[in-house]
Each structure stands twice: as structure tokens, then as C-alpha cells.
Structure 1
Amino acid sequence: MTDITAIILTKNEDVNIERCIKSLNGVADRICVVDSGSTDRTIEIAESLGAEVFYHEPFNHYAAQFNWALDNVDIKTTWVYRIDADEEVTPKLAVEIVAACKEHRDDDVNGFVMKFLIAFMGTFLKHGGMYPFYNLTIFKFGKGRYENRAMGEHIILSEGRILDLENDCLHYDFKGLDAWVNKHNWYATREVADYFSTRTVGQADPNTLYHEARKTSKLRDGFYYRMPKFLRAKLYFWYRYYFKLGFLDGKAGYVHAYLQAYWFRFLVDAKIMEQEIKSKQQNKK
């Protein structure tokens, strides 16, 4: 018994879900799939591999869906592991997770930050600020929840220490560029919602975030959005591709940096401008 419950949020993940669940063998005592309307074989595959499937719609955003899972899947274990369907636990990471959770079950360590190695167009990105990518993914039940953000959400712990794990979790992109573009269009809409909400209701308390989340939140809300619209997308590309050596990842590194800057970041700015124009027009009425 590892005393870990894994939670996977899904919608049409049949190209990913088998790999993800199988990689959790020996890691999680219980695997809970929370689905938001899959029309492919996701549910069939998950159930055939022993996962419990729960349903929750509508899917508003990742944070809300995961917090719903925390409240509704009847967690009995000490630890919760938040894993995406397109992620895979390596054998070395599996051993490390089990050992770390056992060692710190009864002390004040309440969370673990994991390193991710991200694949894009068949290449694992090791430059351009993409590696190591850190995220807090394992925490003690009752000690953490997602902050209420539509994008760029992080798990916030109520108390306790956070430790880093050494081995990588693999993140794949088997759905291809069509899915990437559609997803990032949706991400852009969510990012714009957060952009305006943080200017009216405030930002997450940095003291409750782990180190990587504090850095990301500070760069995004305290620096990036202080630069002029559209110019910041161009500077973002130069930062990722040249300063952070993204060119060392070859053609895949170029495409990724370009799309992140001139598709996603530029699109966010365009949607911000669109919303500002609409607000001005409404104020004139």
C-alpha cells in the first residue's frame, strides 16, 4: 500500500490514458479518472485498467474541476497525486515517489514538486526555458487546493514544507498540432479572464505558493504584463529562443518558441485589446 490516490482529469484522452495509468502501477493505491464528456474510448480504457471513473460537467477550468474531484471522490489516502492523462511516470520516478511519500507521511512535509520533460513534435525540449519545468503535483489530502484561476493555476498548501523530487515525469503531445492550437486558443481566453480578474480582485498570496509558482506568478503579473501589448510577445520569443537557448532543440524548438510567442502570447494580447474595446463601447452607452 502506497497511501496515494492519483487523480486524472480527462476528455477524449484515448491516445494517452493507457500509458498514463499503466505508469502508475505500484505508485497509486487508487486511480480516479474525472471525465467531462469523453466521446472516444477514454472511459472504456480507464475502467479496463482498474481506474474508477467519475463524471463532472460542465468543465469550467482545470482548477475548478480538480477541486471538485478533491471534494467528491471520497479520498481516504494520506497523499493525492495530480497527474495529467498525457503524462507518464518513469520507473525511477515511481520508486522515488513511493519512498518519499512513505518517509514523510507523518512529518511536516506536505507536498512534492516534480520536474517535467516535455515532448513537442517528437522532440523532448531541454532548452528555451522548458526544462526543467517544475510543478507541485503531490500533496497531503486536506492540505492543498488549486487557487481559483482559469489559467496558470497552482496548488496552494495551507501549511507545511515542500520538497523537490529528482527524477523526471514525461509529458507527451500525441494529439498533434491541431489539438495544440485549439487548446491554446482556449487557454488564451482563460488567460484574458485571469488578466482582468487579478486587476480587480487581487493576485494569489505569494507566501502560499511553492518556489517555482512564486517565480512564474511574479514574472507574469509583475513584469510581463507591464510591458506594451504585442511587443511583449516578440520579446518573449527572443527570450525563449535566443537567451534561453531554445534554438538548441532544433526545428521543434523553433516551432515551439514561435507558436508560444506569436500564436499564444500574441493571441492573448489581441483578446485583451478586443475586451478593452468592448468595455469602452459599453461605457459610452
Structure 2
Amino acid sequence: MQLSVIILTYNESLNLPKCLASLKSLDAEIFVVDSGSSDETVEIANKANCHVSYHPFENQAKQLNWALQNLPIKTPWIMRIDADECVTPELATELKQVLPKTSTQITGYQVKRRVFFMGRWIRHGGYYPTWLLRVWRNGLGTCEQLWMDEHIVLSEGETAKLKHDIIDENQKGLSFWTDKHNRYSERELKQLLTQEITLQQDTLLETDANSQAKQRRWVKKNLYGRSPLFLRAFIYFLLRYLIGLGFLDGMEGLIFHFLQGFWYRFLVDAKIYEMERNQKVSIILPKLS
């Protein structure tokens, strides 16, 4: 057995069966870390003979690092996959063929994520391919301690790219999607405050790897992050939808690119504006009294 798979769950009964079905041909050990689901998530995982653990949730990074530090994983390779993702049959075959033959200098593999929204593959707007480090050698990968946009960082070695994809297709509907992104906006705000207060270093930007994730992080911090609030959300959406050909993704693409590329970013800026406004008010009021 070459591979163990880690899945973090919370009320994922709609997504988990498809995810687990896609992993069957991998012959991998599957570890599910649940954070207190009230639906049938744990029962589904147990029926599929997964190793199920409970750990209270704080954020994705801490949950994943807890799993890496505490689960009895003995295989040479580890893979992280979300409950609303699945492995294509081609990727499963590729992993079984590639991992046993990987040279020692390769310690991690990047995988393409193919996002589906309302049943449609989002292929444009710079959204595909999105390369993510999802497979790494046991003991050499940790998750960045971030509230948002966290990635696996390797302590040594080089990365390579796999040919085939992970499918991301959440089955919970648009209301769940918008609620989730509202929660994401709170995490973005927490991350911003954490970086300002602690002068937190960016582990991903300090690595030698020239990955897509590193390039996007640099753009987000040095270009997008220094642009005016609200205006940057408009510009980003226009770049994705027009220059990046997002309009070719049809009506579903319009909804996705507008909500994810504009509404979500605008919401984050609105919460930043609210926070800064409240800080100014708290400074002025004592002077008036």
C-alpha cells in the first residue's frame, strides 16, 4: 500500500459517497477527520471502512496539521482531498503507476482541480487549470497556518505534476455556496488582522518552488492587496469574465464568475471597510466625550 488519503468532514453526507466511491480503485487507506457532523457523514465513512476520528474544528490548516501529527499513517505517500471532490479514474490509475516509481528527489505532486458549478465545468476565467499540491511524502508536508487560502508546504525536495484531474463539484446547492463564501469572507478578515498584528511571514512565498499557487499568492498580496477597496473587485471580475473569457462558460459561468470573482471579493472589502470605519469611530468618540 503506497497511499493514505485524508478527508476533513462536517455534515458531508451529500458529497462523501461520491468522493469515497472514486477512491476505491486506489487501494488506499482512508482517514476521515470529522468535526461533529449531525447528519450521516460518520455512518457513511464507517460503512466504507474508513478510519474515522473526531477533532473539534478551528480552521482548515489546524485541522489538517492535527491529522498529520496524530493519525497512524504508515504509508510512504499522503493525499489530501475534500469531501466535495473526487478522483477521476485516470488519476487513480496514474497514482498507482507513478508513486512506486517516483525518484527520491520528488517529494510532492501537484494535481489539477476541475471545478463544476451548477453542473457545468468552469473552464475559463483563469480557473482551469488550478494546480494544487495534494500528494506528498509522509513526514515532509505541513499545511500553512493560515485562516484562508492555505496550502501544503514541503520541507525538502521538488514537486512534479500529474497529468489527470481532481473533480470539485459540491452537491449542496447555491444557498450553501453563498453561506460558505460569507464564512470565507470572515476568514479572509481574520487572516488580514493576523498578518497585521503578528507580522506573520508568508511560508509559501519563501519557498523555492515556482508553483502556480506561489505566483497567485504574490499577485494577491502585491497587486490586488495594494489596490483600492471595491475598485479592485470590479477590475478582477472584468479581467476574469472578459479578458479571461469567462463568458464562454455560459449562464452558469456568469453566475459563478460574478459571485466568486466579484460579489465575494466585494463582500470582503465591505467587511474591511466596516472594520476600519468602526476603528475610526472608536477613536473619535472618546475625544468628543
Q: Using the TM superposition, name which of 137-146 and 20-29 deviates more.
A: 20-29
Q: What is the rounded CA distance, in whole Å, between the counterparts of 1:210 and 1:73 in structure 2?
A: 30
**Which residue pairs with 2:242 in the alignment?**
242
Tell me the amino acid that sits aligned with residue 268 of structure 1. Answer: V
**Which residue pairs with 1:47 in the alignment?**
46
Structure 1 contact 35–55 (Cα < 8 Å) conserved: yes
**Which residue pairs with 2:190 in the alignment?**
193
Structure 2 contact 85–170 (Cα < 8 Å) conserved: no
4+ runs deviating over 4 angstroms? none
**Which residue pairs with 1:260 in the alignment?**
260
Q: What is the rounded CA distance, in whole Å, between the counterparts of 2:283 and 2:162 in structure 1?
A: 51
Determine whether 1:229 maps to 2:233.
no
1:170 shift after superposition: 0.8
1:279 shift after superposition: 2.6
Q: Using the TM superposition, name which of 204-213 and 47-56 deviates more.
A: 204-213
The 5 Å alignment of 1:17-166 reads 17-57=16-56, 59-104=57-102, 107-166=104-163
Structure 1 contact 136–210 (Cα < 8 Å) conserved: no
Determine whether 1:12 maps to 2:11.
yes
Aligned to 1:24, the other structure's residue is in SS state helix
Structure 1 contact 6–28 (Cα < 8 Å) conserved: no
Aligned to 1:40, the other structure's residue is in SS state coil
Q: What is the rounded CA distance, in whole Å, between the counterparts of 2:172 and 2:147 in structure 1?
A: 22
Q: Using the TM superposition, name which of 273-282 and 218-227 deviates more.
A: 273-282
Q: What is the rounded CA distance, in whole Å, between the counterparts of 2:94 and 2:261 in structure 1?
A: 35
CA RMSD, aligned part only?
A: 1.4
Once the two structures are aligned, what percentage of the paired residues are identical? 42
Structure 1 residues 118-164: Cα deviation after superposition (integer angstroms, max 9, x where no partner): 00011011111111111100011111101111001111111101001
1:28 shift after superposition: 4.6
1:232 shift after superposition: 0.5
Q: Using the TM superposition, name which of 195-204 and 255-264 deviates more.
A: 195-204
| Normalised TM-score (structure 2) | 0.94
Structure 1 residues 56-77: Cα deviation after superposition (integer angstroms, max 9, x where no partner): 11x1111111001111111111
Q: What is the rounded CA distance, in whole Å, between the counterparts of 2:91 and 2:234 in structure 1?
A: 36
Aligned to 2:250, the other structure's residue is in SS state helix
1:173 shift after superposition: 2.1
Tell me the amino acid that sits aligned with residue 99 of structure 1. Answer: Q
Tell me the amino acid that sits aligned with residue 247 of structure 2. Answer: F
Aligned to 1:151, the other structure's residue is in SS state coil
Q: Using the TM superposition, name which of 111-120 and 194-203 deviates more.
A: 194-203
Q: What is the rounded CA distance, in whole Å, between the counterparts of 1:261 and 1:16 in structure 2?
A: 24
Q: Is there any run of 5+ residues in structure 2 with no aligned partner, and where?
A: none
Determine whether 1:218 maps to 2:215.
no
Q: What is the rounded CA distance, in whole Å, between the counterparts of 2:242 and 2:36 in structure 1?
A: 41
Q: What is the rounded CA distance, in whole Å, between the counterparts of 1:145 and 1:72 in structure 2?
A: 13
Aligned to 1:84, the other structure's residue is in SS state coil
Structure 1 contact 5–28 (Cα < 8 Å) conserved: no
1:283 shift after superposition: 4.0
Q: What is the rounded CA distance, in whole Å, between the counterparts of 2:114 and 2:262 in structure 1?
A: 23
Q: What is the rounded CA distance, in whole Å, between the counterparts of 2:283 and 2:153 in structure 1?
A: 37
Aligned to 2:142, the other structure's residue is in SS state strand
Structure 1 contact 162–210 (Cα < 8 Å) conserved: no
| Normalised TM-score (structure 1) | 0.95
Structure 1 residues 206-255: Cα deviation after superposition (integer angstroms, max 9, x where no partner): 13255112111101111101110000111111011001000000001100
Q: What is the rounded CA distance, in whole Å, between the counterparts of 1:210 and 1:87 in structure 2?
A: 25
Q: Is there any run of 5+ residues in structure 1 with no aligned partner, and where?
A: none
1:169 shift after superposition: 1.1
Tell me the amino acid that sits aligned with residue 39 of structure 1. Answer: S
